[in-house]
Chain A
Amino acid sequence: GENVEQHPSTLSVQEGDSAVIKCTYSDSASNYFPWYKQELGKRPQLIIDIRSNVGEKKDQRIAVTLNKTAKHFSLHITETQPEDSAVYFCAASKGGSYIPTFGRGTSLIVHP
């Protein structure tokens, strides 16, 4: 089955800095890569996603890049703010069932 590795497990930055979270996947058939944000005690919520026919996608301060050849994808957050502090999960899925395999998560801490 699919295996998703995520690094780093913890990321601490100063407000205004950029943050990058990297993930790799094992199944070359995976074609959908969502990113979820989970604030403490809250539900995971989708923040951005990318499909395998696209190399990069941006939404305001958030961007995701995908390298299908290397089977890795990354989340980039610019101008970080304290409210960006949360656990971020990358995931990969294939086909139309949208059953993602999640990474272990990155705890992002943004210091004011």
Chain B
Amino acid sequence: DAGVTQSPTHLIKTRGQQVTLRCSPKSGHDTVSWYQQALGQGPQFIFQYYEEEERQRGNFPDRFSGHQFPNYSSELNVNALLLGDSALYLCASNSQGLTGELFFGEGSRLTVL
């Protein structure tokens, strides 16, 4: 049983560029959440997708957008990258309304130069 998978694992971008991160949820899960984890900090909630719609959003600007596909996989897009966007981006999945455990992927490490 594959867990949550994310790609790419590492990437380097320059300020102003755009980036797309991808996530496949754990088998049987229908809900995907994205988190930003800066160095030495706890994960910060970006948004959650369920039934291909953004259900809830954290305190992140509109430069952060996402999408969920019919197979429950998801993308996180960040436009006009800033140096402060450098972080580990974690994807987590669960089943809507069931156990609260979030299953995290290994993350995508984004460095903005």
List residues of A whose CB falls within 8 A of some B CB. Answer: 1, 4, 6, 32, 34, 42-46, 49, 89, 91, 93, 96-105
Contact = CB atoms under 8 A, between A and B. Distances in A.
A49 B42 contact: no
Interface in B84-113: 90, 94, 96-97, 100-102, 104-107
A97 to B, nearest CB: 6
A44 B48 contact: no
A89 B92 CA distance: 15
B48 A99 contact: yes
Contacts, number: 53
A76 to B, nearest CB: 20
Contacts of A4: 42
B104 A99 contact: no
B63 interface: no
Interface of B: 4, 33, 40-45, 48, 55-56, 59, 90, 94, 96-97, 100-102, 104-107
B56 A99 contact: yes
Most buried by A among B42, B56, B96, B97: B42
A98 B94 contact: yes
Nearest to A93: B100
Given A89-B42, A105-B42, A43 B101 contact: no
Given A42-B106, A44-B90, A105 B100 contact: no
